């Protein structure tokens, strides 16, 4: 059985807020010495 996929529609302001939040989360993970792969992937998907 295929997994369900969900799509959200965001305007440019919402995308900017989301990217800024993800960058802050990535910086926090870096300071903690943790992996940032999943955050990097989300940022890449939002920027494409």
pLDDT for 1-48, tens place per residue?
789 998 889 999 999 999 999 999 999 999 999 999 999 999 998 887
Residues in the chain: 48
Q: What is the pTM of this model?
A: 0.79
Whole-angstrom Cα distance, residue 47 to residue 16?
10
Look at residue 18 in the predicted model and tell me its pLDDT: 94
Look at residue 44 in the predicted model and tell me its pLDDT: 92
Whole-angstrom Cα distance, residue 31 to residue 28?
5
* 6-to-3, 14, 32 alpha-carbon distances in Å: 10, 17, 31
- Structural Rg of the chain based on CA atoms: 13
Whole-angstrom Cα distance, residue 8 to residue 3?
17
């Amino acid at each position: 059985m295929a997994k369900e996929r969900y799509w959200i529609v965001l305007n440019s302001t919402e995308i900017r807020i989301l990217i800024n939040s993800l960058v802050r989360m990535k910086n926090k993970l870096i300071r903690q010495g943790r992996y940032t792969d999943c955050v990097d992937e989300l940022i890449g998907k939002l920027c494409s």
